[in-house]
A and B are shown apart, each in its own frame.
Chain A
Amino acid sequence: MKFLKNNSKKKSLYVTLGIIIGTAVGIITSFHATYDYLVLKNKIVHEMKNNSKLTAESLQKNIATLMASYSVNEYENLIRNEIQNRDIFAIIVEDYNMGEILGETSYISGKIRDEKLNILDYDEQDTLQNKQLQETYYSEHYDIQNVQGKKLGKIAIYTTNDSINEELNLTIIHTVINTIIISLLLALALFTSIRFFILKPLSNIVRAISLSDENGIPTQAIPDEGALEISILSNTMNTMIGSIKNSSATLNEHHKYLQSIINGISDPIMVIREDYTVELMNNATRKIAKNMDMVADPAHPKCYEISHHRTTPCDGVEHLCPLKEVMRLKKNITVLHDHGEGTTSHFVELSSSPLFDTNGVCVGIIESARDITAHIKAQDELRKQKSSLHFQASHDALTGLANRVLFDERLEKSIAFSKRNETKMALLFIDLDHFKEINDSLGHKAGDKVLKSVTLRLNEIIRKEDTLARLGGDEFTIIMEGLKDVQDASILAQKILLALTEPIMLNNIEVYIGCSIGISLYPENGDTPQDLLKYADAAMYKAKDEGRNNFQYYSAEMTEQAFERVEMETKLRGGLKNKEFVVYYQPQIDGTNGSLSGMEALVRWQSPSMGLLSPSKFLPIAETTGLLIELDRFVMKSAMTQHAKWHKEGLNPGVLAMNLTVKQLQQKDFLPMLEALIKETHCCVEHIELEVTEGQIMTNPTKAIEILKGISELGVKLAVDDFGTGYSSLSYLKKLPINKLKIDQSFIHGLPEDKKDAALTKSIIALARNLNLSIIAEGVETKEQKEFLVQNGCTSIQGYFYSRPIPADEMQKFLSQAKTLLQSSIIQF
């Protein structure tokens, strides 16, 4: 029978049958006992009633005699004896004879038991006794008659069920004992029979089954013995074992087939049980696990031994354990493991799905691994490229600063931030002064270097939280968030101005560049990016108007000015088209004798709507809109034509000085154009003098020298306009093919009282003399100025002292008069 024992918690057949038999026997005997009990109870009740009846019959006869003889005590004793002997609760007698003697209906007496079963006299006045009588189980009443049939009285017999209960309890005890004994005997008999006829053959079957191969399939036939059913069971099992063997063979084939399929998969695949045991794997996995030294039990390798070459399960700290996660989540997951060593990464993507048994319980996982190192690297590259593209899209390629796109975005965020935090914000719009000249004269590379240099300087000045952007060309913006005080913007602007005042070295050439800064404020000036940018731009223009190299805050007037600028631009274009521009001429006089030595051609705009406008009103617009070149060429052509005409008319107009803007210089066709214009107008080359400013030369002195030499080679004279206001390098001055210096009117203004102006003027005059250059002073308005200049060697005078710029017809008159009044020392206009 030992073959029927194992460690299973299931109850054995022996125990099960024991329970069934015990229960069945218990139920049957219980039913039987209950039936017996009920039968007995009915019998006892019947006997009790019968006993009561017999008692009554017995008493009826005896009491009748005693009643007739008035032997009350005797029949009471008789009643006592009956109660004692027959286990009766009470007997009550009504005696009519005694009643008659006592003058009552009847004399009632009797015996009754108390709680301790003592027999007491019945007292009809005792309520407790009467209550007890009413509660008795059974009572019977009988008449007492004498032999003649006369009623002598009544007798009542009361019986309780106490004795019945006592007897029944005793019966129950006996029945229970009997039941237990019968059950035990019956069970013993049944167990013995079961053991011999059922369990022994079953044990033999189990013994035969337990002798099995490695797949658990029995190797021996099941013995055919025992009862018919067990014999059938043996035969059936033999048939079943045969089927299992066939199925096992088929299953092995399927298993091999399946194994060959998964072996064909290049990714490692494992079926892992909950205890980390790898139940199934393909060849790709075996390749990973070829070093089987770490595998303690090759028949049952563990996943951590194969995948991680560990002797213990992973703790899940370095990487997520797919087994634990799938067991926990009961669903497919994909995790990434880095199986690399040292700095080398080796990324493996593990896709795991739960393995359910037939009951739907998750018992392990199916895991496939894929080396995605190359994929990850490709992704990284792509990400970097994307990042770079994004950077490029949002940043200026030259300076690395935020570009227009990013600036707009930042500005919008800054406004939103300021709105949320109720803080101020400033937008600085920086436009480099003379950058275009540098770009044009020194080339774009130089310009780019300037921009980079400017960027470096600005980056050093601004706060970390400020945004510096380049909108294009020489336009920079700075967004200042969290402005505590408006003055903070001023302080930054001052720093910027100072920083950009310092010269920039370009291939050993010092380039001087300033800037004009416009500032708009949130929320004072606007609350949209468009408004703030527009207003900062307007303020910047104002700074330009104010002489550059300064900063201006936006005001409402600037808006108007901006509109005016737009209007002016439109009108400017119309003016050019409608030939509203005219050339005025300001005489240049020899101070020593008052004779005309030449004239400077100056443009005026005779606007039908605005009247006559000086160049300061429209030249900046013309410069920014590109109309300047056209306007310049118009002036040059007009002046040269007029000058040739005057010369042809026999008038002596002298030198024709014309301002040459840097933009003209930058025009590649300038020299051919100038040459062609000379030919076209028949203007004497030797009378033509082009004035260039220091700033125009110094932005790109080398280029300027090259062009100026070309001009000079045409025979055109060159003069440096506004001399002394810039930062002219004397070394360059020496190289320039210039013929004349023109002292700026700012030095003249203080003459002769201002000693500095006087000293500077004297120095410039001396410089010109030493360089063998002619010299002229402009802006001379008083006699004292004229005389100081003449006394110090500058005899050529231009200014209101002699004449303001005059139209051609007036100049014609002047030339005509001069011809006739050549002798007059002072000519008053």
Chain B
Amino acid sequence: MNILKPLFGITLLCFFTSLYAAEIQTIEKELVYIVPDTRIEFWEIMARGVQNKADSLGYALEVYISHNDAKTELQSVAKALKERVAGVIISPTTSSACATILKLAKKKNIPVVISDIGSEGDEYVSYISSNNKEGAYKLGKILAKKLIELGFNDGRVGIIAIPQKRLNGQARTAGFMQAMDEANIKGADIKQQSTWSEEETYTFSKEMIEAYPDLRAIWLQGSDRYKGALRAIAHAGKKGEILLLTFDAEPEFLELIPSGVVVASAMQQPYLMGQEAVLAMDKHLRGEALEKNIQLPILAISAENIEQMLPIIKKNVLGIEKIKK
């Protein structure tokens, strides 16, 4: 009897300890990814990249969609912080909003990995971004070459930009303008997207076409509303006279670029970025060293190299890994 009593106690202690350890393991394994808007292909692909890597590394992942709404985003963050998740991966609605999110997370000692967009704050574990400037610069080079080939190099280039408050927006504009300056191609107006609607893209494109008769190209710093721009060019009767360039990619680009409807597009690799974000968080949670700023290359795709780059585009840009299977 005397021996059985301590043995029973030890057994109970081991049982509860293992339960507690399992609980901790469960909490530590939970990650949250806050994405701005999955209606946008780019974010949807990135979310899949995150999910893919979280699954492969054994993390439970909760994805909160901000719907490009600051309040929703903040509520998601508050919820994640309240649940004391192991880490937060976020693609913020704006760099500014991200700064507040980082402060809130820091108060709760929860690590944050930023995937794209960037932050005005610097309290994050790692910032996974595309080298927007370099990508835009390469894209600008392709356009310059094309305009020169077409003899349009005395014309102007208009830009429908993502909000320039975003660091990625600023980098894209800077890289592109650098290439234009180098080719002595004049710029036209630059308009910033706010509603992200096709109509908005159409309106901006139309206004620029009307405002600048010598407009020879429109660079759309996104991809999803490219149809609005094409429609405006078509309505202006300048199809073929005004070239369209985009940023990022849509599945149909695999056809539009070779056909010349879209002259070129600088394609980020959202799927890869999502994976890198989880990987960075995992390294942090495991205590490994990692770079604070990880920039992934942007693929400048034109008709000339699309065939060659197609496997990478499909996997890292379009996230259609499962399709191959």
Residues in A lying within 8 Å of B, measured CB to CB: 69-74, 76-77, 97-98, 101-103, 109, 121
Does any Cβ of A come within 8 Å of B97's Cβ? yes
Does any Cβ of A come within 8 Å of B148's Cβ? no
Check A73–B78 contact: CB distance below 8 A: no
Does any Cβ of A come within 8 Å of B203's Cβ? no
Check B120–A73 contact: CB distance below 8 A: yes
Check A70–B70 contact: CB distance below 8 A: yes
Does any Cβ of A come within 8 Å of B322's Cβ? no
Q: Nearest-CB distance from A283 to chain B (Å)?
A: 119
CB-CB under 8 A from A101, the residues of chain B are 71, 74-75, 78
Check B78–A102 contact: CB distance below 8 A: yes
A69 and B72 alpha carbons, distance in the complex (Å): 11
Known: A102-B104, A121-B103. A73 touches B121 (CB 8 A): yes
Closest 10 pairs (CB-CB, A-B):
A72-B100, A73-B96, A70-B70, A73-B99, A70-B71, A73-B100, A101-B78, A101-B74, A102-B78, A101-B75
Known: A101-B78, A102-B78, A103-B78. A74 touches B96 (CB 8 A): yes
Q: Nearest-CB distance from B2 to chain A (Å)?
A: 52
Q: Out of B70, B82, B104, which one reaches A71, CB within 8 Å?
A: B70
Closest to A97 in B: B71
Can you list, as one digit per residue, whether each of B108-124 has a CB less than 8 Å from chain A (1) or not (0)? 00000000000011000
Check B103–A71 contact: CB distance below 8 A: no
Can you list, as one digit per residue, whether each of B87-107 has a CB less than 8 Å from chain A (1) or not (0)? 000000000111110011000
A77 and B97 alpha carbons, distance in the complex (Å): 11
Q: Nearest-CB distance from A97 to chain B (Å)?
A: 8
Check B103–A70 contact: CB distance below 8 A: no
Q: Nearest-CB distance from A190 to chain B (Å)?
A: 66
CB-CB under 8 A from A72, the residues of chain B are 74, 97, 99-100
Q: Nearest-CB distance from B279 to chain A (Å)?
A: 28
Interface residues of B in 53-79 (CB under 8 A from A): 70-71, 74-75, 78
CB-CB under 8 A from B96, the residues of chain A are 71, 73-74, 77
Q: Nearest-CB distance from B317 to chain A (Å)?
A: 31
Which of B71, B75, B120, B121 counts the most A-chain CB atoms under 10 A from its CB? Answer: B71
Closest to A72 in B: B100
A77 and B99 alpha carbons, distance in the complex (Å): 11
Extra 11 A-B pairs, beta carbons < 8 Å, given A69-B71, A73-B120, A76-B99: A70-B70, A70-B97, A71-B96, A72-B99, A73-B96, A73-B98, A73-B99, A74-B96, A98-B74, A101-B74, A103-B82
A689 and B104 alpha carbons, distance in the complex (Å): 179
A610 and B99 alpha carbons, distance in the complex (Å): 164
Q: How many residues of B contact A (CB 8 A)?
A: 15
A97 and B75 alpha carbons, distance in the complex (Å): 11
CB-CB under 8 A from A121, the residues of chain B are 103
CB-CB under 8 A from B70, the residues of chain A are 69-71
Check A73–B71 contact: CB distance below 8 A: no
A70 and B100 alpha carbons, distance in the complex (Å): 10
Closest to B75 in A: A101
Which of A72, A98, A103 counts the most B-chain CB atoms under 10 A from its CB? Answer: A72
A21 and B97 alpha carbons, distance in the complex (Å): 69
CB-CB under 8 A from A102, the residues of chain B are 78, 104
Q: Nearest-CB distance from B220 to chain A (Å)?
A: 26
CB-CB under 8 A from A73, the residues of chain B are 96-100, 120-121
Q: Nearest-CB distance from B98 to chain A (Å)?
A: 8
Q: Nearest-CB distance from B266 to chain A (Å)?
A: 28
Closest to B100 in A: A72
CB-CB under 8 A from A77, the residues of chain B are 96, 120
Q: Nearest-CB distance from B111 to chain A (Å)?
A: 19
CB-CB under 8 A from A69, the residues of chain B are 70-71
Pairs A–B under 8 Å by Cβ, sample size 6: A70-B74, A73-B99, A73-B100, A76-B100, A97-B71, A101-B71
A121 and B102 alpha carbons, distance in the complex (Å): 13
Q: Nearest-CB distance from B95 to chain A (Å)?
A: 8
Check A71–B78 contact: CB distance below 8 A: no
Q: Nearest-CB distance from A501 to chain B (Å)?
A: 148
Closest to A121 in B: B103
CB-CB under 8 A from B74, the residues of chain A are 70, 72, 98, 101
A102 and B98 alpha carbons, distance in the complex (Å): 16
Q: Nearest-CB distance from B84 to chain A (Å)?
A: 14
A77 and B74 alpha carbons, distance in the complex (Å): 18
Closest to A74 in B: B96
A103 and B100 alpha carbons, distance in the complex (Å): 16
A102 and B74 alpha carbons, distance in the complex (Å): 9
A102 and B101 alpha carbons, distance in the complex (Å): 11
Check A71–B97 contact: CB distance below 8 A: yes
A77 and B103 alpha carbons, distance in the complex (Å): 14
A102 and B70 alpha carbons, distance in the complex (Å): 14
Q: Nearest-CB distance from B163 to chain A (Å)?
A: 13
CB-CB under 8 A from B103, the residues of chain A are 109, 121
Q: Nearest-CB distance from A80 to chain B (Å)?
A: 11
A402 and B207 alpha carbons, distance in the complex (Å): 164
A97 and B78 alpha carbons, distance in the complex (Å): 12
CB-CB under 8 A from B97, the residues of chain A are 70-73
A102 and B100 alpha carbons, distance in the complex (Å): 12
Q: Nearest-CB distance from A434 to chain B (Å)?
A: 153
CB-CB under 8 A from B121, the residues of chain A are 73
CB-CB under 8 A from B71, the residues of chain A are 69-70, 97, 101
A121 and B104 alpha carbons, distance in the complex (Å): 13
CB-CB under 8 A from A70, the residues of chain B are 70-71, 74, 97
Closest to A70 in B: B70
Q: Nearest-CB distance from A64 to chain B (Å)?
A: 15
Q: Nearest-CB distance from B71 to chain A (Å)?
A: 5
Which of A71, A98, A102, A121 counts the most B-chain CB atoms under 10 A from its CB? Answer: A102
Q: Nearest-CB distance from A577 to chain B (Å)?
A: 160
A70 and B97 alpha carbons, distance in the complex (Å): 8
A213 and B132 alpha carbons, distance in the complex (Å): 112
Q: Nearest-CB distance from A435 to chain B (Å)?
A: 149
CB-CB under 8 A from B98, the residues of chain A are 73
Closest to A123 in B: B107
A66 and B263 alpha carbons, distance in the complex (Å): 40
Q: Nearest-CB distance from B213 to chain A (Å)?
A: 38
A103 and B82 alpha carbons, distance in the complex (Å): 9
Q: Nearest-CB distance from B204 to chain A (Å)?
A: 23
Closest to B119 in A: A73
Q: Nearest-CB distance from A494 to chain B (Å)?
A: 139
CB-CB under 8 A from A97, the residues of chain B are 71
A71 and B70 alpha carbons, distance in the complex (Å): 7
A69 and B194 alpha carbons, distance in the complex (Å): 14
A98 and B70 alpha carbons, distance in the complex (Å): 11
A98 and B75 alpha carbons, distance in the complex (Å): 9
A103 and B108 alpha carbons, distance in the complex (Å): 14
Interface residues of B in 171-217 (CB under 8 A from A): none
Which of A70, A71, A103 counts the most B-chain CB atoms under 10 A from its CB? Answer: A70
Q: Nearest-CB distance from B107 to chain A (Å)?
A: 9
Q: Nearest-CB distance from B121 to chain A (Å)?
A: 7
A76 and B104 alpha carbons, distance in the complex (Å): 14
Q: Nearest-CB distance from B258 to chain A (Å)?
A: 43
Q: Nearest-CB distance from B118 to chain A (Å)?
A: 12
A510 and B97 alpha carbons, distance in the complex (Å): 166
A103 and B71 alpha carbons, distance in the complex (Å): 14
Q: Nearest-CB distance from B314 to chain A (Å)?
A: 37
Closest to A69 in B: B70
A97 and B100 alpha carbons, distance in the complex (Å): 14
Closest to B77 in A: A101
Q: Nearest-CB distance from A48 to chain B (Å)?
A: 30
Interface residues of B in 115-147 (CB under 8 A from A): 120-121
CB-CB under 8 A from B82, the residues of chain A are 103
CB-CB under 8 A from A109, the residues of chain B are 103
CB-CB under 8 A from B99, the residues of chain A are 72-73, 76
CB-CB under 8 A from B78, the residues of chain A are 101-103
A74 and B97 alpha carbons, distance in the complex (Å): 8
A102 and B99 alpha carbons, distance in the complex (Å): 16
Q: Nearest-CB distance from A76 to chain B (Å)?
A: 8
A669 and B97 alpha carbons, distance in the complex (Å): 177
